[in-house]
Amino acid sequence: MIFHLALVSDWEQAQGAGEYRMSTLGRTLDEEGFIHASADLAQAEGVARRFYLDVTEPLVLLAVDESLLGSPVKFEVPEGTTEAFPHIYGPIPTAAVTTATPFTPGV
């Protein structure tokens, strides 16, 4: 299981389309080349503290079953960090999302 923070509005749009295509805040899969994800809940919480504290729109934490993705997942270390993060190189089918839990950064 890997995790992805999403705006509720983006997740709702994905449910209608059958796939999720946002990479990160304000950037799509097509713009970024992959979808940012976290390896575990602790990593997702760290991402939320670093990048999502000022977001006022409701968020959900998507739990993604890697075996249902149909796209490669590569663990990569972003520049300036020492921590490896899973990057999903394709859209997330909504069927691969096992839960979408309301999420508040810093709580």
Closest by CA to 104, choosing from 59, 63, 62, is 59
Instruction: List, for residues 11-48, the tens digit of each pLDDT value.
Output: 999 999 999 999 999 999 999 999 999 999 999 999 99
Structural tokens at position 67: 């075996």
Are 13 and 60 a contacting pair, CB within 8 Å? no
pLDDT value at 93 more than 70: yes
* DSSP secondary structure letter of residue 18: T
Name 89's Cβ contacts closer than 8 Å, sequence gap at least 6.
Answer: 33, 34, 71, 72, 73, 74
Instruction: List, for residues 35-83, the tens digit of each pLDDT value.
Output: 999 999 999 999 999 999 899 999 999 999 999 999 999 999 988 889 9
Fold that domain 2-102 belongs to in CATH = ADP-ribosylation fold (3.20.170)
